[in-house]
Amino acid sequence: MLLLSFVFAFFSFGIGENDIKVNNPDELNAAIKNAVPGTEIILANGIWKDIQIKFFGNGTNEAPIILRAETPGKVTIEGISDLKIGGKYLEVRGLYFKNGFTPSKTVIDFRLDSTTIANHCKVTDCVIKDFTQSNRSKKDHWIEFWGRNNELSHCYIAGKSNSGPTILVSLAGNENTNNYHQIVNNHFGPRPRKGGPHGETIQLGDSYTSMAPGFTNVSNNLFERCDGEVEVISNKSNNNEFRNNIFYKSEGSLVLRHGNYCTIDGNFFIGDDASDFMGGIRVINSGHWITNNYFYKIKGKEFRSALAVMNGVPKSPQNRYNQVTDVVVAYNTFVDCVAPWQFSVGANMDKKEVLPLQEIRSARPLRTIVADNLIFNQQANDFPIKAYDKVDGVLFKNNVMNGPNNSDVKDAIQTVDFSMTKQSDWLYVPTSNQSDVFSGFDFETIQKDLFGKKRANSSAIGAMVFPVDKSKGQLDKKDFGASWFSDENKKTVSKTITVSSEKELAEAVSKANPGNVIELKKGIYNLGNSLVIDKSITIRSKDKKQAAVILYKGQANSSIFLMLPNGNLTVENLNLKGENTQNAFATKEKDMASAYNLKIRNTEISGFDFVLKAFKDSFADTISIDHSVIKNCKNGISLASENDDQGEYNAEFVYIRNSKFDNIQNAVLDYYRGGYDESTIGGNLVFQNNLVSNSGALEPSGILIKTRGIIQVGITNNTFSNNPVKAIAVFWGEKKQEPKDNTVKNSGEFKTEQNLKLKMMY
Amino acid sequence: MLLLSFVFAFFSFGIGENDIKVNNPDELNAAIKNAVPGTEIILANGIWKDIQIKFFGNGTNEAPIILRAETPGKVTIEGISDLKIGGKYLEVRGLYFKNGFTPSKTVIDFRLDSTTIANHCKVTDCVIKDFTQSNRSKKDHWIEFWGRNNELSHCYIAGKSNSGPTILVSLAGNENTNNYHQIVNNHFGPRPRKGGPHGETIQLGDSYTSMAPGFTNVSNNLFERCDGEVEVISNKSNNNEFRNNIFYKSEGSLVLRHGNYCTIDGNFFIGDDASDFMGGIRVINSGHWITNNYFYKIKGKEFRSALAVMNGVPKSPQNRYNQVTDVVVAYNTFVDCVAPWQFSVGANMDKKEVLPLQEIRSARPLRTIVADNLIFNQQANDFPIKAYDKVDGVLFKNNVMNGPNNSDVKDAIQTVDFSMTKQSDWLYVPTSNQSDVFSGFDFETIQKDLFGKKRANSSAIGAMVFPVDKSKGQLDKKDFGASWFSDENKKTVSKTITVSSEKELAEAVSKANPGNVIELKKGIYNLGNSLVIDKSITIRSKDKKQAAVILYKGQANSSIFLMLPNGNLTVENLNLKGENTQNAFATKEKDMASAYNLKIRNTEISGFDFVLKAFKDSFADTISIDHSVIKNCKNGISLASENDDQGEYNAEFVYIRNSKFDNIQNAVLDYYRGGYDESTIGGNLVFQNNLVSNSGALEPSGILIKTRGIIQVGITNNTFSNNPVKAIAVFWGEKKQEPKDNTVKNSGEFKTEQNLKLKMMY
């Protein structure tokens, strides 16, 4: 303990003989310029704002040049700032990037410019949090790897909500190949759903350099709720290794998108009952080895299956889908997964008429071995394998399951009577070894199990060799990320503020702390200006039986509630009235850096231009309307401003339930996504148990509920009465959309378009 | 010397205690079955006919199982035979494959079947000569590599004239990747021109497995007149090495067709004045290092340039052309080459209207370095670089030439006044070092020069560091191939046989030795049967002024001269007459295993159905007609039976000069090649100084000289008179074909079709 304190003091506060403490940019630049191997440049505690640090020089293996915080975490880099590193044996420690964004294309770049790149450089014990562009469509990467032998370790990185992978490893140029970069022991905290592509947490290479050898090592990291898009990690180069990472409740998969001969060994994919979006490993290309991985409660299907092996495009173009060949999937364990294995995912031979030939995925997996895997279900799941095409190129050997297999490929799995024991929330361990293992070509190289235990001593199917150490199965966040940082939220105490006038209301909204509830006494509130919502807040009538009325008299095109990034508004028991030219709810017109949420319950809305108007680049995670009445408005809910057809959309989840719409002149809902992108699975609409009447009269499209390009659409149990439209909704047949149990009186009909014509995105 | 004799005796003739001499297949099979590590199975001298040897077992590194000839070269494998090897540490020595062909797909296969493959096995000191299929369109490989760590060394291999690469290395399946096969010290003797694709000498992988790492080593081999097709070596996998090979007067290139990160170091590419077809290195894909190579008198251009760097297809399909990126071309020497460097070869942006998009090569080389190369010309060549597109992705550094560079990329080469000394027929060595070298990324790994001399001691541009050892530059064939075999031809003594009757003529043709001349006394020879030509022979009139007449009375559709494989016929001063239903010359209808040649001089041909009728699968290297008269025939020269449109054609060179054609009812010439294949450069037609009259009246196409799909067509200085056709010829505009200096009287016109519609071959 004494020793530890000493070490801590030495590294954090001590000033050695080669140390230079700097207090401002000039001192910093001078120190960098004069640094020699062994120099330690110490940034004084405090806020370093609007600074672009160029850290260059040549240290040595024995004596790196170090740039560090005086106290780890007490040096914050804020504002419009970034850090570029060029040279060799340079090390950055203890910095905290927050309250800002980069003016360049990266927050931390492992190169100064195209000629001065980093080799043997390290960024460690740092945090980048919410350092996201104000406009979510503005693209950047938080960390770009260039050169060779660089390291990102023990960092906490979370909250990127703009376009672009959080980390990009570039392999363009021989000096960036065979890079052996280390991305280890980091904590990748929540990355919110982005809506559309370009929300990866790590991307290794790109399709243009996907022939290059990477040898990047991504190991021992925690990926927690990395929900940016369907790919948490997008591998696009060769020979990379992914070992012992924990994918914790992340809505996406580790995707072998391009590149070959990667190793995915000993990782945990942990899902839960709350989401169908959490995935496992999606396989494309050749020669990967997928071994010793543990999948728990992965509820994703198709692209997000625990194991999704795709069909390829014959002679695929470089940026599409190569055939899966020579892949080995061995010694993995799947517990309580909905779709443990899916083969020929993406097969779309039936689309030959509507898609270009180079989009048709008809090339089945070839020379692939799936052996010695174990599937365990607490509740019977007799359909563990879904195959979208013939499975004639896969050799199945010695896979076992604790129940019958009645799925598409019956011979692939043997039923064995065995049990597993719950050792933690998410870890189930074997109670004995299933020891009849198959040994394929080079299988002897799989020497250890998920926990590093030698396989040689005991023969065992599945990821774990019995017995498993009792200590396994705990997730201690302290094992990941920066030593000085914790992302455990302080519990906010809910506080209720009661208001009785427009002025009090405006003041309360402005000053409320996150989590506060504002209650309006009964009466009429004549509001002249928007209420700006930039935090989590609930606004409701104090008297549940008698709704307070907000009569909005603001400018035309303004709105009662103006949603800002991170705004999270719940409206309950209110009566919102407009003068026909304003909106009830709207987003800011720009700089919607992060998502917002909106929940409307037991509320009446009338007399508005738009009920909700979402501007371009805005994104709602969830919009929910329940038990409300919406009437006499020109437009309903508009989530249709992402019209570039690049796969983006304005809201992930839209729930409209148990509500009444009457006399909405245009569409009741306009919800749009454009661009052909087969891997997107949003947005999501539930329109249920509503009554819609006398609406759509002026809608130019003649469609009452517009959902073009939205993937998940459910319209059930509603009544449509006297709506003068041609169509209530147009379903996308390919996505199996169809109406269910609706009552239609004197309204348009439901239509279905089997294959949408969509703009190709690439 | 004593020691050497002893060793020789021991390995060749000695019978050790583990040795088993076998005299027949049963004994051989039993011996193989019973072999243990260290067993040496000795095949008794003699002919082993129609035998399929399955050599299997497991030797060890220290004690391999050996299968060898009693005396090297005295065991011939003949007839319908092959050899399959499966297991490990097996070695085959001293066998001679001749007079036959394989009944399977390989002559020597490094596997017994798909499950029993070879590892650590070796074939050495063997010969495969003319072991070619009787039908040249029947495809096989003479040697197929499977497994890992196998070796083909010190073998002589020549004379494959059927379809299929001589050697194929397969990488399908993990057990065949990272194979480290050794193809070393072999002599690849002449492989005749094949006409069309599939005539490679070595192919490493294929486009479907081109993502796989090969690590195959092709070093210290002699490739002598490997003329099969445009690719002597077709690399289609990754990480292969080509070192210190000699490409001697071979009509083709080392082509990096698919796959990446190969090394081409220290090779010799030796051409001569006689052929424009000898090439160097053609570059496609990424990450190759091309260093220390020596190019002498390479006259090829475009695809066959000494260094041809291609344009790629953007986002290329797997089997087309990836963009060139990250390639290094350094320290090479080019002496007296016509087109030392060509960039963006294959650029065809102007074909967007006629070709599918995935055929358009518009992606220029990127991130490529060309540095420290030396170009030396004895006669000024001020246009060393041809660029078919912008050269904006190539960095040129410190390249030198002994004369001005007025070519497309002027800055790429510096003019320096230096000289070189002739040290052998083909080796020119520097007289000093051009020492201002550029050092790019990883250039320090280029440690040695062409001859293995360390570069560290002296800085030198080009392949050689001055001074060069005087002994260098000699090509001793004994350094390559089997120890006991020489391909030096015995000189044939020309002998003349005079004949004066049909019977004597038939007998003389049948019994003549290769190289003999048969002279016909003047008079009329009434011939009832074909003369079969299966060797090199000349048939001519004894009296040059009074031609002997051969009056052919054979069956309809038969021919005076029936050309067989290897037939090489010269006809001089004869008068050949038919009865309108037969042919003057024809090939066999099938089993045209090898090419034939036909030379006609001062001869009159009349009264035939076809002057020459070439059947499917036949192939003439050269057909030449000079100073002859051809008249009153239904059809002229027909070389048009390769109608599958797979790139094949019936003759490589056709020369028709100084001759008269009169009253040929259909086309005078029908010469055809079909199928889109951008790398083919044949066939070749020279039609010069002829008089063609009164012909083509019944030709259905209305074309007098049909050359569809033939690449090189020259029609110059002819007179066309009174031919009732629509077109004399239709030129292929894209290939820059055009008529020159012809006189046309009352005949059709010359037409040009800019872009032929051709069937896609893949």
The encoded tokens of residue A453 equal 């235990």
Distance CA B247, CA B277 (A): 13
Residue A433 included in any domain: no
| B426 shares a domain with B348 | yes
Helices and strands of chain A, counted as H and E runs: 3, 70
Residue B580 and residue B578: Cα distance in Å, rounded?
6
The pLDDT of residue A8: 41
**A317:B315 CB<8 A:** yes
For residue B317, the chain A residues in CB contact (below 8 A) are: 315-318, 358
Residue A405 lies in a domain: no
Q: Are residues B420 and B508 both part of a single domain?
A: no
Whether B7 shows a pLDDT value over 70: the answer reads no
Name, in order, each residue with C-beta under 8 angstroms of A393's C-beta and a sequence gap of 6 or more. Answer: A325, A364, A365, A366, A367, A368
What is the per-residue pLDDT for B2?
40
| B671, two tokens | 């010469």
- Chain A to chain B, count of Cβ pairs less than 8 Å apart? 85
- A544–B contact, CB cutoff 8 A: no
**Quick one: B410 and B389 in the same domain?**
yes
pLDDT for the residue A5: 40
B548 touches B538 (CB < 8 A): no
What does the pLDDT average to over B438-444? 96
CB–CB contact B287 A358 (8 Å) = no
B595, B612, B644 - which closes a domain: B595
The CA dihedral of A612, A617, A622, A628, to the nearest 10 degrees, is 0
Interchain contact B326–A (C-beta under 8 A): yes
pLDDT given at position B16? 66
Dist CA B186 CA B56 (whole Å): 24
Nearest by Cα to B731 from B714, B747, B719, B717: B714
User: Between chains, do B211 and A442 touch, taking CB under 8 Å as contact?
Assistant: no
Instruction: Tell me how far apart the alpha carbons of residues A113 and B720 are, in angstroms, rounded to a whole number.
Output: 68
Average pLDDT, chain B: 94
Least CA distance to B366: which residue of chain A? A173
Burial string for B448-464 (b: 16+ CB within 10 Å, else e) reads bbbbebebeeeebbbbb
**Are A286 and B358 a contacting pair at CB < 8 A?**
no
CB-CB under 8 Å, A209 with B174:
no
Pairing of strands A414-415, B568-572: unpaired
CB contact under 8 A, B317 and A322: no
Give the end of a domain, one of B595, B618, B651.
B595
Q: Could you tell me the CA-to-CA distances from A321 to A361, A735, B369 in Å, in that order?
A: 7, 21, 31
The residue among B425, B455, B479 that closes a domain is B479
Q: How far is A66 from chain B (nearest CA, A)?
A: 26
Judge whether B293 is closer than 8 Å to chain A, CB to CB: no
Q: Which residues in chain A have Cβ-Cβ distances shorter than 8 Å to B177?
A: 287, 326
Domain range for B206? 15-479
Contacts B285 to A, Cβ<8 Å: 211
Pairing mode, strands B167-169 and B202-204: parallel
Same domain (yes/no): B235, B311: yes
- Flag if A317 and B319 touch (Cβ within 8 Å): no
**Beta strands across the sheet bearing A629-633:** A524-527, A548-552, A574-577, A604-606, A629-633, A660-664, A691-693, A719-721, A743-745
Interface test with A, best of B114, B116, B170, B208 (most A CBs within 10 A): B208
Q: Is residue B485 part of a domain?
A: no
pLDDT value, residue A12: 42
Residue in this structure with the two tokens 């700089």, named with its chain if needed:
A591
Q: Which residues of A touch B319 (CB under 8 A)?
A: 315
- Asked if residue A669 is part of any domain, the answer here is yes
Instruction: List all residues of chain A from 239 to 268 with a beta carbon under 8 Å from chain B.
Output: 260-261
Contact B199, B595 (CB under 8 A): no
According to the model, what pLDDT value does residue B1 have?
36
- Residue B526 structure tokens: 């009434």
Same domain flag for B180 and B231: yes
Beta bridge partners of A531: A561
Chain B CB within 8 Å of residue A322 CB = yes
Decide if A317 and B322 are in contact by the 8 Å CB cutoff.
no
Q: How confident is the model at residue B5 (pLDDT cuts 50, 70, 90)?
A: very low
Asked whether the predicted pLDDT for residue B98 surpasses 60, the reply is yes
Q: B325 — contact with chain A (CB < 8 Å)?
A: yes
B235 touches chain A (CB under 8 A): no
Is residue B356 predicted with pLDDT exceeding 80?
yes
Q: What is the pLDDT, as a whole number, of residue B492?
A: 67
Query: pLDDT tens digits for B218-261?
Result: 999 999 999 999 999 999 999 999 999 999 999 999 999 999 99
Under DSSP, the state recorded for A312 is B
Q: Say yes or no: B328 contacts chain A, CB-CB below 8 A.
A: yes
What's the rounded mean pLDDT across residues B728-749? 94
Contact between B424 and B473 (Cβ < 8 Å): yes
Asked whether residue B583 is domain-assigned, the answer is yes
Locate the chain B residue with the closest alpha carbon to A358.
B317
Å between B363 CA and nearest CA of chain A? 11
> Looking at residue A7, what is its pLDDT?
40
Nearest neighbour of B287 by CB, restricted to A174, A316, A442:
A174
* Chain A residues lying within 8 Å of B762, measured CB to CB: 315
* Residues recorded for chain A: 762
Say what the ipTM of the complex is.
0.88
The answer to whether A205 faces chain B, any CB pair under 8 Å, is no
Q: Measured between CB atoms, does A287 come within 8 Å of chain B?
A: yes
Nearest-by-Cβ selection for A326 from B173, B260, B358: B173
CB burial of A86-116 (b: ≥16 within 10 Å; e: otherwise) equals: bbbbbbbbbbbbeebbbeeebbbbbbbeeee
Asked if A267 contacts A247 with a C-beta cutoff of 8 angstroms, the reply is yes
Model pLDDT, residue B723: 97
**Other C-beta atoms lying within 10 Å of the C-beta of residue A760:** 11
Determine the distance in angstroms separating the CA of B269 from the nearest CA of chain A, rounded to an integer.
27
Q: Is residue A673 part of a domain?
A: yes
Burial of A634 (0-12, 13-18, 19+ CB in 10 A): middle
* Contact assignment for A211 to B173 by CB distance below 8 Å: no
Where b means 16+ CB within 10 Å and e means fewer, B673-701 reads bbbbbbbbbbbbbbbbbbebbbbbeebee
Residue among A286, A318, A367 whose CB faces B322 most closely = A318
Best of B326, B357, B359 to disrupt the A interface (most A CBs within 10 Å) is B326
Report the distance separating Cα A47 and Cα A27, nearest Å.
Answer: 15
Contact B212 A177 (CB under 8 A): no
pLDDT tens digit sequence for A242-284: 999 999 999 999 999 999 999 999 999 999 999 999 999 999 9
Do residue A317 and residue B317 have CB atoms under 8 angstroms apart?
Answer: yes
Which among A562, A602, A607, A563 has a CA at the least distance from the CA of A581?
A607
| Residue range A153-163, pLDDT digits in tens | 999 999 999 99
pLDDT score of B18 more than 90: no
Cβ atoms < 10 Å from Cβ of B352: 12
Residues B442, B529 share a domain: no
Q: Do the chains contact at B286 and A211, CB–CB below 8 Å?
A: yes
Q: Which helix (H) or strand (E) segment is A517 a member of?
A: strand A516-520
Contact A442 B261 (CB under 8 A): no
* pLDDT higher than threshold 50 for residue B624: yes
Look at residue B274 and give its three-state secondary structure.
Answer: coil
Residue A414: alpha-carbon gap to chain centroid: 36
pLDDT of amino acid B170: 98
Q: How far apart are CA B352 and CA B712, in angstroms?
A: 23
Q: Would you mind telling me the total number of residues written for chain B in this entry?
A: 762
Is A761 at the interface with chain B, CB within 8 A? Answer: no
**Local structure of A351: helix, strand or coil:** helix
What are the structure tokens assigned to A374, written together? Answer: 């174990």
On whether both B439 and B516 belong to a single domain, the answer is no
Here the CATH number for the domain that contains residue B474 is 2.160.20.10
Number of domains forming the structure of chain B: 3
| Interchain proximity A317–B209, CB inside 8 Å | no
Distance CA A540, CA A542 (A): 6
Could you tell me if B213 lies within 8 Å of chain A, comparing CB atoms? Answer: yes
B553 shares its domain with B670: no
Q: Decide if pLDDT at B10 tops 50.
A: no
Q: What is the mean pLDDT of each run of 10 residues along chain A (762 residues)?
A: 40 65 97 97 98 98 98 97 98 98 98 96 98 93 98 98 97 98 98 91 97 98 96 98 98 97 98 94 98 97 96 96 98 97 96 88 98 96 96 98 93 96 97 95 96 91 96 93 87 86 96 94 96 96 94 96 95 97 96 93 97 95 96 97 89 96 97 82 92 96 96 96 96 92 95 84 66
Give the pLDDT of residue A512: 93
Q: Which of A173, A260, A322 sits opposite B367 (nearest CB)?
A: A173
CB contact (8 A) between residue B315 and residue A315: no
- Is B175 in contact with A441 (Cβ distance < 8 A)? yes
pLDDT tens for B59-97 read: 999 999 999 999 999 999 999 999 999 999 999 999 999
The alpha-carbon gap from B367 to the nearest alpha carbon of chain A, in Å, equals 6
Task: Judge if B237 and B290 occupy the same domain.
Answer: yes
CB environment B71-110: b (16+ within 10 A), e (fewer): ebbbbbbbeebbbbbbbbbbbbbbbbbeebbbeeebbbbb
Q: Which helix (H) or strand (E) holds B522?
A: none
List CB contacts of A115: < 8 A, sequence separation 6 or more. Answer: none
pLDDT at A449: 97
| Beta carbons of A261 and B322 less than 8 Å apart | no
- What are the start-end ranges of the E strands in B325-439? 328-330, 333-335, 341-345, 368-371, 374-376, 385-387, 394-397, 400-401, 414-415, 420-422, 428-430
What span, in angstroms and rounded, lies between the C-alpha atoms of B439 and B453? Answer: 18
**Alpha carbon distance B170, B166 (integer Å):** 13
* B308 and B348 inside one domain: yes
Q: What is the pLDDT of residue A679?
A: 67
The pLDDT score that the predictor gives to residue A4 is 40
A322 closest CB neighbour out of B174, B286, B318:
B318
Full 3-state SS string of B607-647: CCCEEEECCCCCCEEEEEEECCEEEEECEEEEECCCCCCCC
Same domain, B696 and B723: yes
Residue A661 lies inside a defined structural domain of this protein: yes
Q: Which residue of B has its CA nearest to A147?
A: B441
Q: What is the pLDDT of residues A388-424, one digit of tens each?
A: 999 999 999 999 999 999 998 999 999 999 999 999 9
> Does B322 lie in the same domain as B351?
yes
B609 belongs to a structural domain: no
What's the confidence (pLDDT) of residue A15? 58
